[in-house]
Copies of this chain bind each other. A is one copy, B any other.
């Protein structure tokens, strides 16, 4: 069935009465073509419905213009918000996003990278999922650039974008203490990713500095349901906490709902809650969750800028630490 489907530069050249290299140049920004030649070519292309074949162009240039986005749990509010930003900015930079879903585990990140390599993606951005250590090497070896968002890999080469999780955790302790809370808790998933752990240890340490103990509980993934389970566990303890920092907003929403509807605890009067991410739902009237905003735009632009820039061997530039703004809403008791 594969008949003659696409128009090639040859045909455009013929119609415009120029050589095929002229056609190529007409579509290459900054090439030396006379205005009249370009004019003729563009018109002929228009009439014929010609579109530069990026497969062939990528083959020649050794640069496909493709950036591979590797992600698990895309449907999660924070992930999808980041994805939105990333695709948008990538497009603005003239690149195109190839999305690889790694929900089905089984070395899926590796397979994803393989895919990226097969299509000669210029770069990969890992938004989630735990990459194998050998991956950075694989990318390096194939000349691919790599961006790691919120996951720590100490290998040199990739750009690592992280947040100031520890400082954020400190601010939460301060806020809780000001609100007069004394029985602190931390609700975490047991995924154990670096940023999640940084929030936890930062919180525990800052509390300790204030002479306060923290009850830590970990369970499941970072979703709403886990938040409910964590509430179940923490709110049935003999010394019930009066303030809880949840590692993500999703956990916080689940926690808050369980506290209110299952335990009839009023938030924030008897229980202060802080989350992390500032997903859209955090601002909904049912939650009014105090949280930290993931700087998705800044994350995306750091990534895209780095990818668009000429590779420089400067190792200082391969790590960015961005600030997560504290967003005050109503889920922390007024001091």
Does A280 interact with chain B (Cβ within 8 Å)?
yes
Selected contact of A257 from candidates B75, B91, B285, CB within 8 Å: B285
Given contacts A53-B59, A75-B280, A260-B285, 17 further A-B contacts (CB under 8 A): A5-B62, A5-B142, A5-B143, A49-B138, A52-B118, A53-B118, A55-B59, A55-B120, A56-B59, A69-B99, A77-B77, A87-B100, A96-B100, A97-B99, A98-B98, A228-B285, A262-B285
Counting chain B CB atoms within 10 Å of each CB, the highest count among A75, A142, A262, A280 belongs to A75
Selected contact of A224 from candidates B66, B75, B141, B280, CB within 8 Å: B280
Top 4 nearest A-B pairs (CB, nearest first) are: A5-B143, A80-B80, A257-B285, A286-B286
Specify which chain B residues have a CB less than 8 angstroms from the CB of A114 in the assembled complex: 51
Does A287 interact with chain B (Cβ within 8 Å)?
yes
Q: How many subunits of this chain does the assembly comprise? A: 2
A226 to chain B, nearest CB (A): 13
Specify which chain B residues have a CB less than 8 angstroms from the CB of A59 in the assembled complex: 53, 55-56, 59
Residue of B nearest to A262 (CB): B285
A50 to chain B, nearest CB (A): 10
Specify which chain B residues have a CB less than 8 angstroms from the CB of A262 in the assembled complex: 285
Does A42 interact with chain B (Cβ within 8 Å)?
no
Does A190 interact with chain B (Cβ within 8 Å)?
no
Interface positions, chain A 32-49, Cβ under 8 Å from B, are 49
Residue of B nearest to A287 (CB): B286
Selected contact of A285 from candidates B56, B64, B258, B311, CB within 8 Å: B258
Interface positions, chain A 1-34, Cβ under 8 Å from B, are 1-3, 5-6
Does A268 interact with chain B (Cβ within 8 Å)?
no
A331 to chain B, nearest CB (A): 13
Task: Tell whether, in the assembled complex, residue B88 and residue A104 are in contact, meaning their CB atoms are under 8 Å apart.
Answer: yes
Q: Could you say which interface size class chain A belongs to?
A: 35 or more
Q: In whole angstroms, how far apart are the Cα atoms of A242 and B195 in the complex?
A: 47
Does A63 interact with chain B (Cβ within 8 Å)?
yes
Task: Tell whether, in the assembled complex, residue A142 and residue B77 are in contact, meaning their CB atoms are under 8 Å apart.
Answer: no
Does A84 interact with chain B (Cβ within 8 Å)?
yes
Task: Tell whether, in the assembled complex, residue B91 and residue A101 are in contact, meaning their CB atoms are under 8 Å apart.
Answer: yes
Selected contact of A54 from candidates B1, B119, B254, B311, CB within 8 Å: B119
Selected contact of A1 from candidates B52, B77, B310, CB within 8 Å: B310
Task: Tell whether, in the assembled complex, residue B88 and residue A103 are in contact, meaning their CB atoms are under 8 Å apart.
Answer: yes
Specify which chain B residues have a CB less than 8 angstroms from the CB of A103 in the assembled complex: 84, 88
Using an 8 Å CB-CB cutoff, how does the interface string of A190-230 with B read, 1 for contact, 0 for none? 00000000000000000000000000000000001000100
Given A118-B51, A142-B49, answer yes or no on A84-B91 (Cβ-Cβ < 8 Å): no
Does A129 interact with chain B (Cβ within 8 Å)?
no
Task: Tell whether, in the assembled complex, residue B54 and residue A284 are in contact, meaning their CB atoms are under 8 Å apart.
Answer: no
Task: Tell whether, in the assembled complex, residue B2 and residue A63 are in contact, meaning their CB atoms are under 8 Å apart.
Answer: yes
Given A55-B64, A287-B286, answer yes or no on A6-B81 (Cβ-Cβ < 8 Å): no
